[in-house]
Amino acid sequence: MMPATLFSPLAVGSVQESADVFGCPSREPEPARVEVQVRAALTFFDLVGLLTYGVSNMTYAELLDDYLVRETVQIEVLIADLNTVECYSYRACRAYQDTDGVGVPREFVLAAGAAVTRVFGVSA
C-alpha cells in the first residue's frame, strides 16, 4: 500500500482568538488557540476506512466532492485514535476484497476508494 501524506511536519503557528478548533471564526467566546500542524502518513485503506467507517457518515453524493472528502478526512483524523484508524483500515480492506465489510455495502467502500484515488492520488 502507498502512504499518503496529509500534513506537513509539526509546526506551531499564530495564536488565534475566538476561533474554533479548525481556526475558523467562532460566534461564541473561545479560549485562545495555537495553530499546530501535524504530519501523518496514511495508507489507501486508512483513508478509505476513515471515509467509510468514521463518524461523519458520508453519502455517495458527498464522495464526489473533493473538498468535502479532504475536510472529512481532516475531521476524522482529529477525532480518531491510531487503533481506530487501524481497525477502520482493516475493515475497509476486507470489504474492498469482497469479503465481510462489517455493515457497509461493498459498493460504498469501492466509491470511497475511487474518491481517495481521485483526491489523494493513491490506490490499493
More confident residue, 103 or 85: 85
Q: Give the residue carrying C-alpha cell 490499493.
A: 124
More confident residue, 87 or 103: 87
pLDDT above 70 for 14: no
CB 44 within 8 A of CB 4: yes
pTM, two decimals, is 0.76
Let me know the angle formed at the C-alpha of 46 by 8 and 123, rounded to the nearest 5 degrees.
Answer: 90
From residue 101, alpha-carbon distances to 7, 10, 77, 90, 109 in Å are 28, 34, 21, 9, 8
- Mean pLDDT value across residues 90-98: 88
pLDDT digits (tens, 9 = 90+) for 25-48: 777 777 776 666 777 889 999 999
Q: Where are the domains of the chain?
A: 40-120
Q: How far is residue 67's CA from residue 69's CA, in Å, rounded to a whole number?
A: 5
